[in-house]
Structures are given as structure tokens and as C-alpha cells.
């Protein structure tokens, strides 16, 4: 075997490890949705308390991604990725053994810390393994495929495990995934470059965590308490004040947690915004559609998971093919056309009611999965190509922070729409999501085609835009 083949093989196995990490993280975002009723039946607690079994993970995850991305650039993404696998796996085992609801919520928060390390570090390791645009686009498609299977297949797997055994199995399934992922990364991934320009930024880290944590908690509680509730208003006020403080601090620090100069790149700014709004739309819809299938249609958790199966399958194939489409047509066209198809599928679902047969909505669900499966790899590859590789950790952290914040907002907002009437709430959610999809198509306009090798790459030691070699 030649040295080039050996390097290619190692890169492929490292890619498999990163995909396992991202897939496990996304699996735990959705797999719990169909288990909430079973968890309450076993451990007790109110509906509001049980909701935090889902949200403790997502809020912690969203709040710490940016910090983990910055830390990866400083100490090396490989070692932090392995540590993330270990923490995520141990916390998953603890969740599966939790004696009561309080401990389960606490262990879910620890899971979120591990997940925050896995996502940006996996992307940084991948970016270093595939430095060229075309190879990176294909690799990101495969990386995203693992996440899409976890995300879309979560309800199906959760429903099957609950039907066959217990809700505790949905957490214990992470044990083999975590062990295999850690072994692959330790054996086949190379340590990423470390940048002396990335310094510890305690004020920025604290303000960033407070901003995202307060915003996420306020939106989550707003869905059940109402957005006029004093506690919710206080959370929103804290988030606004902390975000202003964050921008003020980051502008003045020599080595900030989030270099604001990154947003001078139109590609970086646009892809980060796309990540936020497409997650609001998709995660919110998955939540409301789950309510629709179980409440309006009377499906069991397993039947609900099966209803999402076409979405799961088509997302996987779209992820794998995204790199070739980007190479042929460019990032801008792939994202814009996919977003328009997404919006059209949403419009076609507006007729859905409690008596609508599943066969009448399956095509729309398939189109939603195909669109998402193309958008995510395309925007991710474009973002990575817009920054210097020594900044890939913080760049991926910024993108995934925006995405996870979007998922929290989407679930809470669309859940509030469906609080009194699931069918009416679904229709409102579809209209809002369609508007967001059209916004995604507009945001794609500044993007440069990845296939051209162009892009507005941002150097690590300066904020001005330079051209890649």
C-alpha cells in the first residue's frame, strides 16, 4: 500500500469517527422526544419538569459550543474530541441509570457539555483531514449524513426501543457509539494545528454562556408560561444585556472568544444566519409534526418514528450527494434551490388535518428531508472554506452555536403555536417555516461557488478579507 493510499484510508476512518460523534449528538436531540411520556410514567414529575429532560441537554449544548470551538483551536481538536466522547458516553450511561427525574435532568446537562465538545471538534478534525475544497465538500456531506441519520432516525429508534424494552435503552445505545468513535479518532486522526492567537477569554466565555443560556431558557419557558411572564421577560432582558456586553468585550480584546472580524466575510455571515433560521424551521417542524402524528392522528411512538422514516432515508442520500452537486452547480445554487423546494413542500402541507391520510403527506416529508440534506453540507463546507484553517474550530463553533440556538427557539416557538390546537398550530408553523425558507434562499445570494475554489477566506491573524491560494 502506498503512502497516499495509507493517508486516504486514515482520513476515511477519522471521518467515520467524526460522523459517529456528530450522529450521536444529533440522535440525542430527537430520540428523547418520543420517550417523555414513558419517562414521566416511570419517574413521575410534571409535564414542565419532563420537558427539561429534552431542554437541559439542548440548552447546555447550545451555550457551550462556542467555548469548545475556541478551546479546540488553542489545545488541539483531537484531544478535546476524545475527551468529549468520554464525557458524553459516561453521562449517557448515567442517564440510563438515573434513579429519579432530577438526576436525569442533571445528567442530561452533562451530556450537553460533552456534545458541545464533539460537534466543533469533529468538524475541525475533518477540515484538517480534507484541506482541499472538493474533498472537504464530499467529506462534510458524509459527516452530515451521520448527523442526519441520528436526527431524523431518533424518533424511530426511540419508539422501537421503548416498544421492545425501556426508555433507558435510548441512552445506553450511546455506549458502543462513543467507544467506537473515540477509538477511531485516537488511532487514525491527526492532531490539528494550535493557534497562539487563541487566548483564554473568561469574560467573553462567561457572557456568551449567559447570553445563550438565558435566551434558550426564556424561550423554552415562554412556550409554557407565555412570553409576558415576569420570569420569561427577565430571562430575555438578561440575554439582551449579556449580548451587548459580549459584543463590547469582544471588540476590545486582542484575542477574543469570537473574533467579530469573521463576520466581515459575506460567506461566514450568511452561512451562520442560514444555520440559525433553517434549524428554527426544521427542528420546530419535527417537534410539531411529532405532536400532530401522536395527538391528531393517534399514532404510537413507534408509528410516529416510522412516519419519519422517509425523511430519514432521503436525508442520508442527499447528504452523500451534496458534495457532487456543490462541485457542479456551486454552493449558492444548491442552497437557494433546496430552500425553495423546502418552502414549496411546506406550502403543500398546509391542507393537512386530523383526517388526512399519511400517503397524502409522505411526498412533502420526503422533499423536506432532501432539501435539508443538501443545505447543511453545502453551508458547512462554504463556511469552512471562508476562514483560515487555524480558525476552523471557532468558525464551526459559531455555526453550530447558531444552529443549536435555532433548534431551541424552533421547538419552543412552534410548540407554543400548537399549545391549544395541534392542527392549527401546525399550519401556523408551516407558514412561519416557509417564510424562513425563503429567507434562506435570499441569504444564499452572497455565497461563492465552492467548486471555483473561491471564497472570502479570513486569515487568522488579521480581520481583513484575503483571497485563498
Give yes or no for a contact between 409 and 272, defined as CB atoms under 8 angstroms apart. Answer: no
Predicted local distance difference test score (pLDDT) of residue 463: 36
Predicted local distance difference test score (pLDDT) of residue 162: 80
Give yes or no for a contact between 405 and 212, defined as CB atoms under 8 angstroms apart. Answer: yes
DSSP secondary-structure letter at 451? G
Predicted local distance difference test score (pLDDT) of residue 81: 93
All residues at 6 or more sequence positions from 230 whose CB lies less than 8 Å from its CB, including other chains: none
Give yes or no for a contact between 116 and 68, defined as CB atoms under 8 angstroms apart. Answer: yes
Give yes or no for a contact between 132 and 381, defined as CB atoms under 8 angstroms apart. Answer: no
Is residue 81 classed as helix, strand or coil in its secondary structure?
helix
Q: CATH homologous superfamily for 3-201+253-452? A: MFS general substrate transporter like domains (1.20.1250.20)
Question: What DSSP assignment string belongs to 205-273?
Answer: HHHHHHHHHHHHHHHHHHHHH-TTSHHHHHHHHHHHHHHHHHHHHHHH-SS-SS-GGGGGSHHHHHHHH
Q: What is the pLDDT of residues 298-325, one digit of tens each?
A: 887 778 778 888 887 888 788 888 888 9
DSSP secondary-structure letter at 198? -
Q: How far apart are CA 309 and CA 221, in angstroms?
A: 30
Predicted local distance difference test score (pLDDT) of residue 182: 93
* Phi, psi angles (nearest 5°) of residue 387: -130, 160
Predicted local distance difference test score (pLDDT) of residue 452: 37
Residuewise pLDDT in 10s, the chain (469 residues): 566 667 777 888 888 898 888 888 888 877 887 777 788 788 877 655 666 787 788 878 877 887 887 788 778 889 899 999 999 999 999 999 999 999 999 999 999 999 999 988 888 888 888 877 777 777 877 787 777 677 667 777 787 888 788 889 889 989 999 999 999 999 988 887 666 555 567 888 788 888 877 887 787 777 677 788 899 999 999 999 999 998 898 888 777 777 888 888 888 999 999 999 998 998 888 888 888 887 888 887 778 778 888 887 888 788 888 888 988 888 899 999 999 999 999 999 998 888 888 899 999 999 998 998 899 889 988 888 887 776 777 787 788 888 888 887 887 788 778 877 888 889 999 999 999 999 999 999 888 644 333 445 544 433 333 333 3
CA dihedral 229, 235, 238, 240 (to 10 degrees): -80
Report pTM. Answer: 0.76
Domain ranges of the chain: 3-201+253-452, 202-252
Give yes or no for a contact between 287 and 58, defined as CB atoms under 8 angstroms apart. Answer: no
Number of H helices, E strands in the chain: 17, 0
Distances (CA, A) of 274 to 159, 368, 445: 31, 16, 11
Give yes or no for a contact between 47 and 94, defined as CB atoms under 8 angstroms apart. Answer: no
* Phi, psi angles (nearest 5°) of residue 465: -85, 135
Contacts 24+ apart (CB under 8 A), 291-300: 291/415, 291/418, 291/422, 291/425, 291/426, 292/352, 292/418, 292/422, 292/423, 292/426, 295/422, 296/353, 296/354, 296/422, 296/423, 296/426, 297/354, 297/358, 300/159, 300/163
Predicted local distance difference test score (pLDDT) of residue 429: 93
Amino acid at each position: 500500500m502506498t503512502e497516499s493510499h495509507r493517508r486516504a484510508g486514515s482520513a476515511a476512518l477519522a471521518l467515520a469517527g467524526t460522523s459517529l460523534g456528530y450522529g450521536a449528538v444529533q440522535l440525542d436531540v430527537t430520540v428523547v422526544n418520543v420517550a417523555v411520556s414513558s419517562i414521566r410514567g416511570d419517574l413521575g414529575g410534571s409535564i414542565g419538569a419532563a420537558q427539561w429532560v429534552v431542554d437541559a441537554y439542548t440548552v447546555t449544548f447550545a451555550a457551550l459550543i462556542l467555548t469548545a470551538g475556541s478551546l479546540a483551536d488553542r489545545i488541539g481538536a483531537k484531544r478535546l474530541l476524545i475527551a468529549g466522547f468520554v464525557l458524553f458516553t459516561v453521562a449517557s450511561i448515567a442517564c440510563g441509570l438515573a434513579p429519579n427525574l432530577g438526576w436525569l435532568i442533571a445528567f442530561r446537562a452533562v451530556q450537553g457539555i460533552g456534545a458541545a465538545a464533539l460537534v466543533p471538534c469533529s468538524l475541525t478534525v475533518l477540515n484538517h483531514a480534507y484541506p482541499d475544497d472538493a474533498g472537504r465538500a464530499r467529506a462534510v456531506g458524509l459527516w452530515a449524513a451521520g448527523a442526519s441519520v441520528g436526527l431524523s432516525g431518533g424518533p424511530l429508534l426511540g419508539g422501537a426501543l421503548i416498544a421492545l424494552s425501556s426508555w433507558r435503552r435510548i441512552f445506553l445505545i450511546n455506549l458502543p457509539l462513543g467507544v467506537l468513535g473515540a477509538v477511531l479518532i485516537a488511532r487514525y486522526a491527526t492532531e490539528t494545528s494550535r493557534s497562539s492567537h487563541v487566548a483564554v477569554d473568561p469574560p467573553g466565555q462567561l457572557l456568551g454562556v449567559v447570553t445563550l443560556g438565558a435566551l434558550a431558557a426564556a424561550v423554552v419557558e415562554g412556550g409554557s408560561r407565555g412570553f409576558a411572564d415576569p420570569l420569561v421577560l427577565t430571562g430575555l432582558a438578561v440575554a439582551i444585556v449579556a449580548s451587548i456586553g459580549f459584543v463590547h468585550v469582544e471588540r476590545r480584546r486582542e484575542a477574543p472568544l469570537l473574533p467579530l472580524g469573521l463576520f466581515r466575510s459575506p460567506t461566514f455571515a450568511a452561512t451562520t444566519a442560514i444555520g440559525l433560521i433553517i434549524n428554527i424551521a426544521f427542528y420546530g417542524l419535527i417537534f410539531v409534526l411529532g405532536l400532530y402524528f401522536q395527538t391528531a392522528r393517534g399514532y404510537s411512538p413507534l408509528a410516529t418514528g416510522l412516519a419519519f422514516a422517509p425523511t430519514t432515508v432521503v436525508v442520508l442520500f442527499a447528504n452523500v450527494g451534496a458534495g457532487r452537486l456543490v462541485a457542479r452547480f456551486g454552493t449558492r445554487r444548491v442552497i437557494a434551490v433546496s430552500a425553495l423546494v423546502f418552502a414549496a413542500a411546506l406550502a403543500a402541507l398546509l391542507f393537512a388535518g386530523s383526517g388526512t391520510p399519511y400517503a397524502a403527506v409522505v411526498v412533502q416529508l420526503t422533499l423536506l428531508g432532501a432539501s435539508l440534506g443538501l443545505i447543511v453540507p453545502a453551508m458547512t463546507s462554504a463556511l469552512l472554506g471562508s476562514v483560515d484553517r487555524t480558525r476552523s474550530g471557532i468558525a464551526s463553533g459559531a455555526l453550530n452555536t447558531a444552529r443549536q440556538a435555532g433548534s431551541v427557539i424552533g421547538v419552543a416557538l412552534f410548540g407554543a403555536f400548537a399549545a391549544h390546537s395541534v392542527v392549527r398550530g401546525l399550519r401556523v408553523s408551516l407558514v412561519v417555516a416557509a417564510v424562513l425558507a425563503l429567507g434562506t434562499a435570499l441569504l444564499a445570494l452572497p455565497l461563492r461557488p465552492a467548486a471555483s475554489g473561491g471564497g472570502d477566506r479570513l486569515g487568522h491573524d488579521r480581520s481583513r478579507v484575503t483571497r485563498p491560494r
